[in-house]
Amino acid sequence: MNQEQIAPVIREIKEALPEKKEEELKTELDRYLRYGIDPQEAKKAIIRKFGGTPASFASMGEKKLGELKGGEMNVDLTVRCLSSREREQKTQNGDRILITGLIADDTMIRRFVSWEGQMLDKGTTYLIRGASAKTFRGEVEINLGPYTKVEEAPEGTLSRLDISKLPRFGNLQELKLKDVRPGMGNIQVTAKVMDLEKRTIETDKGKKSIFDGMLADDTKRVRFTSWSEFGYDIGDVLTIRGAYVKDWRGIPQINFDERAEIKKEEEIDFDIMKTPHLFAEDLVNAGATDIEITGTIIEIRDGSGLIFRCPECNRSLLNGNCALHGQQSGVADLRTKVVMDDGTGSLFAVLNTEITENVLGRKVSECVERYQDDDQRIVQELSQILLGRDYVMRGNVIRDDFGPTVLPAQMTKHSSDDMEEARSLLDEMEVI
C-alpha cells in the first residue's frame, strides 16, 4: 500500500483522535496492514483502541423522521410522543421490559422501541440523541439503546405540530376484510356499508357525532367506527384508505377519522346476502362477527355437561363454590366445550344451553334428574353423539389468551354427498 492511499486513512484517524501525533498513527496503521488487514477495518480498530468514536458511529446529526431509511446508526431527533406502552419480551436471559409506541415530528409518524427502559410520556416533546433506525417488517423503526440520551425539549418545541395533517402510521396495506387483524395501522379496504348508526359522545372539546356500523366484502363482515362526519349510507360501496384496526375481544374493528380518504365506488358491488363462510385458518389470527364455519368436532373438553352457576354472578361453581360469592346452591345449566377442526386450523367452541339441549334431546331439568348422580355419563353421551361428526356453526368468534373460540348461535349437522364428492375428486386426479 503506497503513501497516497494511506494518507487519507491517516487523516480520518487523526480527525477522530486529534490529540495523537500523525507519525504515531502511521506506525500503528502499518502494524495492522502488515497482517493484511483492510485499511478501513484497521482505521476503526485504531480509533477504538485509543478511545475515539469511529466515523461510522459518529453522530449523523439532527434528522427528520421522514428522512430515515433504516440502517442509520447515530441520529438526533426532535419528536413528540403520541403513545407508549410497556411490553414484556422473553429473551434468553429472562423477561425484559420494552417500551414501544409512536413518535412524530412534522414529517411523519414512526414506531419506537426503547430497549433500556427509557420511558417516553404521551404528549411530551423530547430531544433524542444517539438513536438508531432499523427496518422491521418493512417499517422503519426508531431504536433507543444504551447510548441514547433522552431529554425533554424546551417549552414551545414543535408547538405547530398538527398530527391530523400527517399521514397515518405505517405503509398502506390493501386488504380483504378476512385478512384484517387487530393492531394494524394503515389499511385500505373496499367494502359495503351493511348498517349504520349515529351516536353522540362527550369529548373534552364538547359533543361530537360518531358513526358505528358494519362493513362487508365477499370474504367477511367487520364492524367499523367513523370518528368524523360520515356522509354515506347503507348499501354504499366504499374504498377507505388510511383506516386503523382496534381490538374488541380479539375481533378486529375498523376505525377511521378525517385523515382517511373515502371514495364511493359506483362500479363495484358485493353479493353479501348470506353469512360469510370461513376456514379455521382465517380465524386463528382474528376473531369475527356473524360467520359460518364447517368442521369436525375432535374433542370434548373438561367443563362440559351439567354445570351449576352462581345465582349472583352466573360464574360456574367449582364443588359448589363460587370464586367470588363462596358456597352457593347453584342454578343448573348445560354447556359443551369442544374443539372443532377443519384441517386448516383448530378452534375452541362453547355450545350454549340451547344447542347442548338439542344435541342431547333433553332439557336442563330432565338432565338434572337423570344425571345428577353421575355427571360423567352425560359427557360420554355427548362424546358419542358429537365426536368425529361434521357441523356447521354460525356465530361470533372471539379471541382471548386461550386462543380463538367460536360462540355459535346455531349449529347444524353438515350434510354431504360423499360418493358424489369422491367421484369429482377422482375426475380431478385424472388431470394432474
Partner 1 sequence: MARMREVARRVFAVEYNRSQHEDRGMEENAPNYIITPLGAIVNRLYFVGVMMNKSNTGSEDSPQYRVEVRDPTGTFYLYAGQYQPQALNTIANLEPPALVGVVGKVRTFVKEDGTFYASVKPEVIFPAELPLRDRWIVETARFTIERLKAVKDAMGQDPPSVDSLVEKGHPNRAASAGVNAVGLYGNLDLAPFSEGVKTALELVLEGRGKDNGHETEEHPPSIPLENEGTGTSPDVKERVLKIINEASGEKGALYRDIITSCEKSGIDKIQLEETIQELLDEGQIYEPTIGIIKPI
User: Contact positions toward partner 1, by CB under 8 A?
Assistant: 280-281, 284, 296, 298-299, 339, 341, 343-346, 348, 383-385, 387-390, 401-403, 413, 415-416, 418-419, 421-423, 425-426, 428-429, 432
Least CB distance from residue 229 to partner 1, whole Å? 37
- CB-wise, 52 or 408, nearer to partner 1? 408
Residue 243: how many CB atoms within 10 A of its CB?
Answer: 27
All cell numbers assigned to 382:
355427548
What is the C-alpha to C-alpha distance for residues 376 and 300, in angstroms, rounded to an integer? 12
Instruction: In angstroms, give the least distance from the CB of 432 to partner 1.
Output: 5
**Cα–Cα dist 101/113, whole Å:** 7
Q: How far is the CB of 335 from partner 1 (least distance, A)?
A: 19
Pick the closer one to partner 1 by CB: 304 or 328.
Answer: 304
Task: Indicate the residue among 81 and 355 with the shorter CB distance to partner 1.
Answer: 355
Residues with Cβ within 8 Å of residue 225, at least 6 apart in sequence: 210, 211, 212, 246, 253, 254, 255, 256
**Looking at beta carbons only, is 369 or 418 nearer to partner 1?**
418
Residue showing cell 352466573: 314
Least distance (Å) between residue 405 CB and partner 1: 11
Residue 429: CB minimum distance to partner 1, A: 6
Which residues neighbour 277 within 8 Å (Cβ) at sequence distance 6 or greater?
291, 292, 293, 294
Closest distance to partner 1 from the beta carbon of 89 (Å): 13
Q: Which is nearer to partner 1, 236 or 247 (CB)?
A: 247
Closest to partner 1 by CB, 170 or 345: 345
375-382 long-range contacts (CB < 8 A, ≥24 apart) are 375/305, 375/306, 378/305, 378/306, 379/300, 379/304, 379/305, 382/300, 382/304, 382/305, 382/336, 382/356
* Region for residue 130 given its phi and psi (left: phi exceeds 0; alpha: psi -120 to 50; beta: otherwise): left
